Copies of this chain bind each other. A is one copy, B any other.
Amino acid sequence: MTLKSALAAFGAVSFAVFAAPAFAQDAAAPPAPADDATIFVFNTMLFLIGGMVVMFMAAGFCMLEVGLVRTKNAATICVKNLALYSVAGLMFWLLGYNLLYGVEDGGFIGSFAVWGADDAATQSRDGLRAALDEGTGYASGSDWFFQMVFVATAASIVSGTLAERIRLWPFLAFVAVLTGVIYPIQASWEWGGGWLNAEWYANLFGAEFSDFAGSTLVHATGGFAALVGALALGPRTGKYSENGAVRPMPGSSLPLATLGTFILWLGWFGFNGGSQLALGTISDAIDVSTIFINTNIAAAAGVMAAMAATQMLFGKVDLTVALNGAIGGLVSITAEPLAPAIWQAAMIGAVGGIIVTLTVPVLDALKIDDVVGAIPAHLFCGAWGTLIVPFSNADASYVAQAVGLLSIGLFVTTMSAIVWFALKFAVGVRASAEDEAVGLDVAELGLEAYPEFAVR
């Protein structure tokens, strides 16, 4: 190698790899960044590992729900959770991803196209650098995987609320539309770079809409769909008597519900941490760490707040509300897990825990039958988390947050209503009263979840 070619090579290298430390003599300069290939792998790993634990949230929702339904519907809720995760994956491949990310800047809907991996952009040195600059320096498949497991989460929320009375196949039909169409369209408005991120929006409402990991896009969306479903279906037979009395139908296995909550808590590190979308730089690594802490503190505060609130209001700690409190805290911090100071995260989560405690009975008073408390935890706390973003993030605006939340709420509610009522009239969504009485397990599946156990 001649001096000249060595220097030429070197020049390229210093541009490509060492662009930052141009003033490299200065010991106080920021550290040289990792090289681009390394950053690419780190980013991809973030999605894959984060995606794995978020995938495991499917098990968490399943356990939470199976623990909170009665034994006679426990196998059905298992089938639903297994199937909804499957359907979500298939629909997000066939339709969802490109509806979400195929949207134009400032647009309202993406494109109708089956997704396929495309890593051409990152195969050249400059292409990779450009991708890293744009925040897309990762394997395209890892991104798909990560986004897919998010969709499944939204669907899980619905299954919990509507448990014990919805028929299996109509439920899955709704899930297919939710995960293939409704969720992607509204998410495209924000994460796809659609109109909630448009300049006119920011000008009009003070800032772009901001939803870091999906308090609104995932959780409130699932919650809205669940709420409309609960209204379309009506409550479980016998849940509310005419005289206004509410009949408790206690969950059949609180240990499994607790396990489910722990699994969800675990998964949330992937959910929020992975939403940083990058891990290849020092600052990304620091940010992901901050997100882990805020996520954990918010959940912890949600638990303690729900425990304290149930103790004070009802004279006893209610485990099932404490579990909802953990979820409520987690959902609350999801819109902005990075910006808050720890005390802010604690406060945001604690309010989430209190919201859950207060609104669970409110839904019952309204005769909206939400079997597992998903509407308080995901919808109400999702709204709270979204609206409180400007408290810790100066770049956000309360008005912009409210407008975004309402827009998405309106869209999801309308679309869900159309689908629920279409299904209702076309095929019927609700199990017959008799099937409900014997339980969906025997009625729909012809088996029992706990066949040997004597059940009262």
Residues of A within 8 A of B (CB): 1, 3, 6-14, 16-18, 21-22, 24-38, 40-42, 44-45, 47-49, 51-53, 55-56, 58-59, 62-63, 66-67, 70-71, 74-75, 78-79, 81-83, 85-87, 89-90, 93, 115-117, 119, 122-129, 138-142, 144-145, 148, 168, 250-256, 258-259, 261-263, 265-266, 269-270, 273, 279-282, 284-286, 288-290, 292-293, 296-297, 299-301, 303-304, 307, 314, 316-320, 322-323, 326, 341-342, 346, 444-456
| Shortest Cβ gap from A237 to chain B (Å) | 17
Give the distance in Å from the alpha carbon of A140 to the alpha carbon of B285 in the complex.
10
- Apart from A47-B289, A79-B322, A252-B450, what are 9 other A-B pairs with CB-CB below 8 Å? A9-B18, A56-B266, A78-B255, A90-B297, A90-B300, A93-B297, A254-B450, A259-B259, A317-B445
Q: How far is the CA of A117 from the CA of B12 in the complex (A)?
A: 37
15 contacting pairs across A/B (C-beta < 8 A) = A6-B11, A29-B125, A34-B41, A40-B282, A49-B49, A55-B265, A56-B263, A59-B259, A62-B262, A81-B258, A82-B258, A85-B300, A139-B288, A139-B290, A317-B445
How distant is the Cα of A286 from the Cα of B48 in the complex, in angstroms?
A: 11
A254 touching B447 in the complex, CB below 8 Å, given contacts A29-B125, A82-B322 = yes
Chain B contacts for A128, CB-based, 8 A: 31, 282
A90: nearest chain-B partner, CB-CB? B300
Q: In the docked arrangement, what's the CA distance between A346 and B259, Å?
A: 31
A125 contacts which of B31, B40, B93 (Cβ < 8 Å)? B31
Q: Which residues of B contact A316 (CB under 8 A)?
A: 444-446
Number of copies: 3
Chain B residues lying within 8 Å of A25, measured Cβ to Cβ, are 8, 12
A86 CB contacts on chain B under 8 angstroms: 299-301, 303-304, 326
- Residue from the set A36, A45, A289 with the largest chain B CB neighbour count within 10 Å: A289
Q: Return chain B residues, CB-CB under 8 Å to A299.
A: 86
Interface SS of chain A? helix
| Selected contact of A140 from candidates B52, B116, B289, CB within 8 Å | B289
Q: What B residues does A289 contact at CB under 8 A?
A: 44, 47-48, 117, 139-142, 144-145
Closest CB of chain B to A101's CB: distance in Å? 15
Given contacts A37-B32, A37-B33, contact A52 B269 (CB under 8 A): yes
Q: Assess whether B322 is in contact with A29, with CB atoms less than 8 Å apart.
A: no
